[in-house]
Amino acid sequence: MRNAPTILHLDMDAFYASAEQASKPSLRGKAVVVGGLGPRGVVATASYEARVFGVRSAMPMAQARRLAPNAAYLVPRFGFYRAISEQVMGLLHALSPLVEPLSLDEAFVDLEAGEAAWDEASARLVGEKLRADIRAGTGLTGSVGLAASKMLAKIASEEAKPDGLVLIEPGTERALLGPMPVRILPGVGPATGDHLRRAGITTVDELAEAGEDELVRLLGKAHGHALYAMALARDDRPVVAEREAKSVSVEDTYDVDIHDRLRVGMEVQRLAERCVRRLRGAGLSGRTIVLKVRRYDFSTLTRSETLRGPTDDPAVVREAAARLLDSVDTTGGVRLLGVGVSGLADYTQEDLFAQAAGVGESEEAAAEHSVEEGSEGAVEAQAAHDERRWAAGHDVRHAEFGHGWVQGSGLGRVTVRFETPQSEVGRVRTFRVDDPELEPAEPLPLVVERPGAAVGGVGG
């Protein structure tokens, strides 16, 4: 443990939902829920206004709709969130070479390693400036925890929410942790929490009083030792610089089980294309292609194929995924499909291109050959694609009315609210889904920098 609170934990406040509110003036101060909107969808993030009704992350979307029927329900825009995250992570990397991202909206920073802070006063100044820079650069808020260990810094940021800063002074850790519930500690999930409760242990003080031997008896050697140390506020885990990704994958859950084998094949091809785009976007290639299939009865099958060397060629990944699908029985229906690439490298082995069937064939031609023209499966897949094109919350542009976002679609119609992050609350209009003047658009920046201005060293 350190003698100064020089480990910082940043957690952006209700990140996805807050980004949507900042992007859409009509949703500011309103209940917003982001996640999968189908009957099997789950909540990714709920705004603080939605949390008042009991909506929480990972909750089934159907339950969220019952709790907050009047909330705005939006499909995630991960590219948009990723761009904001890159701005925020840029600010963190300016503070220290040791930044440990946990997700798009959360990270640890070792301020001592970057010589950004060395005592309570300097750490507090860094934390307050970081919060101000995040607000200026992105228009969003983040909560900051500062402490002498990672565990305590994360607990501090939870206490700081929303939009605050909490610094835990060295020497006060035991007194602070004592009355807190055991679930506050890392590694204490619902199952462990229930097990401890049945043993009469509900607070961190009671955990410490139980003693190390009793915790080992209850939870096993590794878990028992670790929890006892944490109960005594001991946590020597270092901040680890950004870890390399072990795999790149994409998956979709379908509102209605897919029974048509041709449609399943088309979805796998589409997922393979998406996976390769993400792979190339990260400047990576991989050797092992993985197919994930969750069937109608919730049984999940995983199949994989390892190539001779790494590739980022879409035809190779498509062909491998198709071969893997051939070994899976989808007769009863499919509820989830996923395609991934592991065994990552930052180079591509060129001779692998020959593994793809129809080498030299264009991607457009390969896609065309993957489905019979005019088949029922192709029509069904195209209809599903058209429906997904106008996802609730996603950006659009109209030739006459300009930039807006989709409020909803169905029955051949799409409803759009025309507004931008910098505008007043906009008007709502409805169009045919095939209106030639309406098209998908890229998100607009939340903050428009003034000419010549630089905010916190973050680019626009």
The conformational region for residue 298 under phi > 0 = left, psi -120 to 50 = alpha, else beta, is left
The conformational region for residue 393 under phi > 0 = left, psi -120 to 50 = alpha, else beta, is left
| Residue 3 burial by Cβ neighbours in a 10 Å radius (0-12, 13-18, 19+) | exposed
| Residue 365 burial by Cβ neighbours in a 10 Å radius (0-12, 13-18, 19+) | exposed
Return the structure tokens found at 38. Answer: 């189908």
Q: Which of 128, 167, 240, 143 lies closest to 5, judged by CA?
A: 167
Q: Which of 241, 214, 249 lies closest to 228, judged by CA?
A: 214
Sequence-ordered alpha helix ranges (H) in 238-340: 261-281, 314-326
- In Å, the largest CA–CA distance within the chain is 72
∠ CA 316-322-326, rounded to 5° = 145
* Upstream peptide bond of 162 is cis (omega within 30 degrees of 0): yes
Return the structure tokens found at 117. Answer: 């802070």
159 catalytic, yes or no? no
Question: Do 16 and 443 meet the contact criterion of CB atoms below 8 Å apart?
Answer: no
Rounded CA separation 50/46 (Å)? 6
Other CB atoms within 10 A of residue 204 CB? 25
Question: Of the residues 20, 49, 100, 106, which is catalytic?
Answer: 106
Question: Beta strands of 271-400 (E only): which ranges?
Answer: 285-295, 300-311, 334-345, 395-398
Question: Beta strands of 148-221 (E only): which ranges?
Answer: 165-167
Q: Return the active site residues.
A: 106
